[in-house]
Amino acid sequence: MSSTNPPFNYPPTRQADQIDNYHGINVADPYRWLEDPDSEETKTWVEAQNNVTFSYLAEIPQREEIKERVTQLWNYEKYGIPFKEGNRYFYFKNNGLQNQSVLYTLTSLDGEARLLIDPNTLSEDGTVALSGLAISDDGNRMAYGISTSGSDWTEWKVRDVETGEDLSDYLQWVKFSGASWTHDHQGFFYSRYDEPQEATKLEDINYYQKLYYHKLGTPQSEDTLIYHRPDQKEWMFGGYVTEDGRYLIISVSQGTDPKNLVFYKDLQNPDSPVVELIPEFEANYSVIDNEGSVFWFQTDLDAPRGRVIAIDINNPGREHWQEVIPQAAETLEGVGVLNNQFITNYLKDARSSIKIFGLNGSFVREVELPGIGSAGGFGGKRYDT
C-alpha cells in the first residue's frame, strides 16, 4: 500500500555531548537542552516542529467538523469535589471550555461562591499553570504554586482568602514539593533546591533537595532549614503536618521509586531532632493519620496489594508493629480517616469497592455505589461527619 501524502520534512534536532554518571554508569542525555523552555534555541525548535504538525493537520478535510463535534461534547460545566478548611468551603469549577479550572470559596454550602483564583488569567498566553495549593486549617491563608510552560520549577505565593489579595511572600527554586501549614497558621513547610547556576539553571539535574520552614511576612532568605542530607544527593523530602498539628512527617524518596523512608519531628519542641522511624527503602509507606503517638500507615510491606499497619513511635521496634487491616483479595488504592473510621478504596475487577472499617480494623460495611465505575474523593478530617 502506498501513501499519497508527501514525507514529513522534520527539522533537525541538535545532539549535545551531555553524559552523566549514575553509580558508575555513563548515561547519555543529548537532548537535555530542550528542558529549558526559555532558551532561543528551544523556542526555535518548537516553532519548527509546530509548523510541521499544523501544516499537516490543516490539510485534514474533516478537521472543522471534528473540532466542532468534540467542542460540543466537551462543553459542559465540571465541578471538583468540595473541601473544607476552617469555616470555609473550597471547590474547583470549569465552565466547560476553560483551559484550567477556577478555584472558588464560600462560607456555607448554600451561600454565594466567590472566585479566589483564576489560573487562566495568570498570563496572557495561558502558559502559566496553578501547580500547587495548600490552605491553612483555619481557611484564612492560601499558599499556591505556579509554573510556566510546563516546567517542574514552581514559584510559591500566599493569598489572603478573605480579601483575595496576595501577601508579600514569594518563594523560588521549588520543585517536586507541596506545602503544609503549621497549626498556628504562621507559616508552612516546603522543599526546594539551591539556586542553580544562571547559564544552565533549567538544564542541570537537581541534587540535594532541602526541607524548609517559611514564616509569613519574611523573605525566603530567612527561611529555616529543617532537614537535608549532604551525603544523599538524590534524596527528596516531602513535609506533612499531622492533623493534630503535633508532628511533622517527612517522607523521603528517590526519583520515581515508590519505596520511601519515613522520618518525623515533634513540633511541640522547636529543638527536637528529626527521628528516622523507617530508615530503609524496602516498601512504600503512606501516613494515614495518628492517635497520639500511634501512627497508621498504608503500606505494601509484605503485602503487594496493600494493607494498614499501626506503629507507636514510643515503641517503634518492628516486632511491635500491628496489622490493622490485612491484605485483601482486592488492591487497596487509598485510605482516609473520616468520622473516626477508615474509609478504604479497593480496586476489584477494574471497578471501585468502598469499605468502611473501625479504627481497630473491624469491618463496618461496604458503601453501595450507584453502579459499576471508579469512585474517589473520600476526603475530609478525622472528626468530620
Regarding whether 226 and 347 lie in a shared domain, the answer is no
- Residues paired with 309 in a beta bridge: 297, 323
Reduce the DSSP state of residue 267 to 3 states and report it.
coil
Q: What is the Cα–Cα distance from 338 to 283, expressed in whole angstroms?
A: 26
Q: What is the pLDDT of residue 133?
A: 98
pLDDT at 6 over 70: no
User: Is residue 108 assigned to a domain?
Assistant: no
User: Smallest Cα–Cα separation from 325: which of 362, 292, 290?
Assistant: 362
Greatest pairwise CA separation for the chain in angstroms: 75
What tens digit of pLDDT does each residue of 73-88 get?
A: 999 999 999 999 999 9
Regarding whether 296 and 194 lie in a shared domain, the answer is no
Does residue 313 or residue 256 have the better pLDDT?
A: 313
Regarding whether 288 and 269 lie in a shared domain, the answer is no
User: Is residue 97 assigned to a domain?
Assistant: no
Phi-psi region of 373 (alpha: psi -120 to 50; beta: other; left: phi over 0): left
Regarding whether 265 and 131 lie in a shared domain, the answer is yes
> Helices then strands (H, E): number in the chain?
2, 27
Q: What is the pLDDT of residue 9?
A: 84
- Cα dihedral 340→346→352→356 (10° resolution): -20
Residue 325 · residue 334 · CB < 8 Å: no
User: Is residue 88 assigned to a domain?
Assistant: no
User: Is residue 356 assigned to a domain?
Assistant: yes
Q: What is the pLDDT of residue 38?
A: 84
Regarding whether 309 and 293 lie in a shared domain, the answer is yes
Which three cell numbers mark 252?
523521603
Regarding whether 358 and 273 lie in a shared domain, the answer is no
User: Is residue 352 assigned to a domain?
Assistant: yes
C-alpha to C-alpha distances, 174 to 119, 170, 215, 237, 282, nearest whole angstrom: 19, 11, 16, 12, 27
Regarding whether 369 and 323 lie in a shared domain, the answer is yes
Q: What is the rounded average pLDDT of the residues 113-117?
A: 97
Domain that holds residue 312: 283-385
**What CATH number is associated with residue 184?**
2.130.10.120
Residue at which a domain ends, from 255, 282, 309: 282
**Residue 294 corresponds to which amino acid?**
V
Q: What is the rounded average pLDDT of the residues 335-363?
A: 96
Entry pTM:
0.84
Regarding whether 164 and 176 lie in a shared domain, the answer is yes
Reduce the DSSP state of residue 238 to 3 states and report it.
strand
Regarding whether 311 and 243 lie in a shared domain, the answer is no
pLDDT at 101 over 60: yes
Q: State how many domains the chain has.
A: 3
- Residues paired with 363 in a beta bridge: 357
C-alpha to C-alpha distances, 237 to 146, 221, 242, 339, 382, nearest whole angstrom: 20, 19, 16, 30, 25
Regarding whether 60 and 140 lie in a shared domain, the answer is no
Residue 313 · residue 296 · CB < 8 Å: no
Residue 85 · residue 135 · CB < 8 Å: yes
**What CATH number is associated with residue 287?**
2.120.10.60
Report CA torsion sign: 382, 370, 361, 276.
negative
User: Is residue 112 assigned to a domain?
Assistant: no
What tens digit of pLDDT does each residue of 190-226 get?
A: 999 999 877 556 556 789 999 999 999 999 999 999 9
Q: What is the rounded average pLDDT of the residues 333-345?
A: 96
295-331 as b/e: b if 16+ CB within 10 A: bbbbbbbebeebbbbbbbeeeeeeeebeebbebbebe
Regarding whether 172 and 277 lie in a shared domain, the answer is yes
Residue at which a domain ends, from 264, 282, 300: 282
User: Is residue 107 assigned to a domain?
Assistant: no
Residues in the chain: 385
Residue at which a domain ends, from 257, 282, 307: 282
User: Is residue 9 assigned to a domain?
Assistant: yes
Regarding whether 372 and 273 lie in a shared domain, the answer is no
